[in-house]
Chains A and B, each alone.
Chain A
Amino acid sequence: MITVIKAPPFATVQDLGRSGHRSVAVPPAGALDRRAIQIGNLLVGNETGAAAVEWAIGAGEIRFDCRTTVALTGASADVELAGRVALPHAALNVVPGDTLRVNRLVQGSWLYICVAGGIEVPPVLGSRSTYLPGSFGGVAGRTLRAGDRLPIGTPARPRLAGAGESERAGEITDWGTPHSAAPLAVLAGPDRRFLPDAEWARFLDTEFRVSNAVNRSGYRLHGPAFHPDAPADLPSVPTCAGAIQIPVDGNPIVLMPDGPTVGGYPIVAVIISTEIGRLAQRRPGEGVRFHQVELAAARDALRRDAAALERLARASS
């Protein structure tokens, strides 16, 4: 069991999300930085899809009521475990009564606290992910509060332990620098045709800024406006996480895993799956650029990520 002593302003339980319910307007939800939660889970001996705490910018504290292992991934954070500096990307042993205190997130927006056995809140529609707009999943469909007690399951495999594992995880996954400002790869979207070629070139040439309007449903970007030449009565179409919509005001909105399943704004581009987490980790005010890739490159990136996770799983067992 984990007890929340002091909750940050925004933390929820997430796993890799639910699937198969979009046709009744239930989006996947799930971790915003899928790579980070999967690495954390493997480090503590879980399956990649175990539920963890997704923690946004802000201080807070949790207490472990059992002996277990924890790993911190995603945002770089100033964290103390039982009063000592907690290293990221490592399996850390905890004993009953130990507290984990997050002082602040130094870089990135979402910290994952992965615990051996996973957070065993009851699954809803096939997932433990909190879906806030629908008030279900996670802990009563809401953000964590002081006093919440989170049950922990039994780990799938023995955990990775020992010195130097942080470096090892970094080497294996080549994910030591998840916060690089490199452009994010996008595929042309189904409504790309509504931007003339010169406008599309300008889109790919623009440095946007992450606005303050960011949440688990979408990230609104600021920059020069774009006005796709789409008919006003364009019927709504299915959407997905990573979809870059251009609403009437011309500022792009990138949909995230809690975003609506169907939307009415033209989708000019879609961020490739493996890079959605990189956008999620950007903070308001930070820059965002896009570069276009073809489907084959997106699929290569997916395979590379899967292979790296596979290597990490082998090394951690």
Chain B
Amino acid sequence: MSDPPHFAPLGDSALTIRFGRGIDPRLNARVTAAAYGIRELALPGVLDVVPAYDSLAVFFDPLALDPRLLEERLRGAIGQGNSAAPGVGTGRTHLVPVRYDGPDLEWVAAQVGLSRDEVIRRHAEPTYQVYFLGFVPGFGYLGPLDPSLVLPRRSEPRRRVPPGSVAIAGAQTGIYPLETPGGWHLLGRTDLVLFDAQREPPSLFAPGDHVHFVPVAS
């Protein structure tokens, strides 16, 4: 049984709703479902709904909406089970071709005591859940990672990670959409364009999508 959601103002133009605590696929599915449910209500004055791991934020026009009334409305909607069915959302599963020739593959294999091929197999085996997007446009936090591949992030982040890099850190994996600094371990690369502001929709991934990595020849 899950806790009742906890509401707190995030400044004067947003409300945070926390559904529990932690990084957990089922808890996150509840958050994602609630986010899509709230979006579908299309409440006038609501500008954006932003899910994270165990919480979401509803951004609104403070001149158009009283946050107390919004909270009441959202409590009702969430209580009525608009968010009951986990896994709703776009329902898409993305197949992501990956060349597993990343600069950290050997190091990761040595750290976890597996062969390179076994690291690749275990990384490409699961169907990952897009918990949410953050960090930079189009960056999805995907999980859960096979427990045998869990490693802390690099102590010194790289100053430049090339776009399309497929990486792991903690119990998560992700793909760098842009060239950015980054502290995750780079296993390989994909040619898919994760984010393009001129494309509709701009982001390949949306919260609640699923992702499957497909090893391809380097």
Task: Determine if B186 is an interface residue (Cβ-Cβ < 8 Å).
Answer: no
Is the CB–CB distance between B10 and A19 below 8 Å? no
Q: How far is the CB of A273 from chain B (nearest CB, A)?
A: 5
Kindly supply a per-residue 1/0 record for chain A positions 9-29, scoring 1 wherever the CB is within 8 Å of any chain B CB and 0 otherwise: 000000000011111111000
Is the CB–CB distance between B10 and A22 below 8 Å? no
Instruction: Give every chain B residue within 8 A of A19 (Cβ-Cβ).
Output: 47-48, 59
Q: Chain A: interface residue count, which band?
A: 35 or more
Instruction: Give every chain A residue within 8 A of B137 (Cβ-Cβ).
Output: 21, 24-26, 134
Evaluate whether A236 and B52 lie within 8 angstroms (CB atoms) in the complex, with A21-B202, A134-B197, A295-B12 already known.
yes
Name B67's closest neighbour in chain A (CB-CB): A295
Listed residue (B133, B195, B197) with the most chain A CB atoms within 10 angstroms of its CB: B197
Instruction: Give every chain A residue within 8 A of B9 (Cβ-Cβ).
Output: 187, 190, 270, 295
Task: Determine if B98 is an interface residue (Cβ-Cβ < 8 Å).
Answer: no
Chain A residues 115 to 172 lying within 8 A of chain B, measured CB to CB, are: 124-125, 133-137
Instruction: Give every chain A residue within 8 A of B8 (Cβ-Cβ).
Output: 190
Cα(A260)–Cα(B133), bound, Å? 10
Task: Determine if B206 is an interface residue (Cβ-Cβ < 8 Å).
Answer: yes
Kindly supply a per-residue 1/0 record for chain A positions 87-131, scoring 1 wherever the CB is within 8 Å of any chain B CB and 0 otherwise: 000000000000000000000000000000000000011000000
Q: How far is the CB of A260 from chain B (nearest CB, A)?
A: 6
Instruction: Give every chain A residue within 8 A of B105 (Cβ-Cβ).
Output: none
Cα(A131)–Cα(B190), bound, Å? 25
Instruction: Give every chain A residue within 8 A of B11 (Cβ-Cβ).
Output: 187, 189, 240, 242-243, 270-273, 298
Instruction: Give every chain A residue within 8 A of B13 (Cβ-Cβ).
Output: 240, 273
Cα(A157)–Cα(B155), bound, Å? 56
Q: How far is the CB of A265 from chain B (nearest CB, A)?
A: 13
Is the CB–CB distance between A262 and B52 below 8 Å? yes
Is the CB–CB distance between A273 and B23 below 8 Å? no
Instruction: Give every chain B residue within 8 A of A299 (Cβ-Cβ).
Output: 12, 62
Is the CB–CB distance between A235 and B138 below 8 Å? no
* A-B interface pairs (CB < 8 A), number: 140
Chain A residues 280 to 317 lying within 8 A of chain B, measured CB to CB, are: 295, 298-299, 302-303, 306
Cα(A273)–Cα(B138), bound, Å? 27
Cα(A243)–Cα(B8), bound, Å? 13
Instruction: Give every chain A residue within 8 A of B56 (Cβ-Cβ).
Output: 238
Evaluate whether A236 and B197 lie within 8 angstroms (CB atoms) in the complex, with A21-B202, A25-B138, A295-B67 already known.
no
Chain B residues 188 to 218 lying within 8 A of chain A, measured CB to CB, are: 195, 197-198, 201-203, 205-207
Instruction: Give every chain B residue within 8 A of A240 (Cβ-Cβ).
Output: 10-11, 13-14, 57, 59
Is the CB–CB distance between B198 and A124 below 8 Å? yes
Q: Out of B57, B59, B178, B195, which one reaches A24, CB within 8 Å? A: B195
Is the CB–CB distance between B62 and A20 below 8 Å? no
Evaluate whether A23 and B207 lie within 8 angstroms (CB atoms) in the complex, with A134-B197, A243-B11 already known.
yes
Is the CB–CB distance between A134 and B206 below 8 Å? no
Q: Out of B49, B54, B136, which one reaches A23, CB within 8 Å? A: B49
Name A231's closest neighbour in chain B (CB-CB): B21
Cα(A272)–Cα(B10), bound, Å? 10
Name A263's closest neighbour in chain B (CB-CB): B134
List B residues at the A interface (Cβ < 8 Å): 8-14, 16, 18, 21-23, 35, 47-57, 59, 62-63, 67, 132-139, 178, 180, 195, 197-198, 201-203, 205-207
9 tightest A-B CB contacts, nearest first: A238-B57, A262-B134, A270-B11, A24-B203, A298-B12, A136-B197, A235-B53, A25-B133, A190-B8
Sample of 7 more A-B contacts, CB < 8 Å, known A133-B180, A242-B11: A23-B206, A25-B137, A136-B197, A190-B8, A238-B14, A238-B16, A238-B57
A to B CB contacts below 8 Å, 17 in the list:
A20-B48, A21-B137, A23-B132, A25-B139, A25-B203, A26-B137, A134-B136, A137-B197, A187-B12, A235-B23, A235-B53, A238-B51, A240-B13, A242-B11, A273-B12, A273-B62, A302-B63
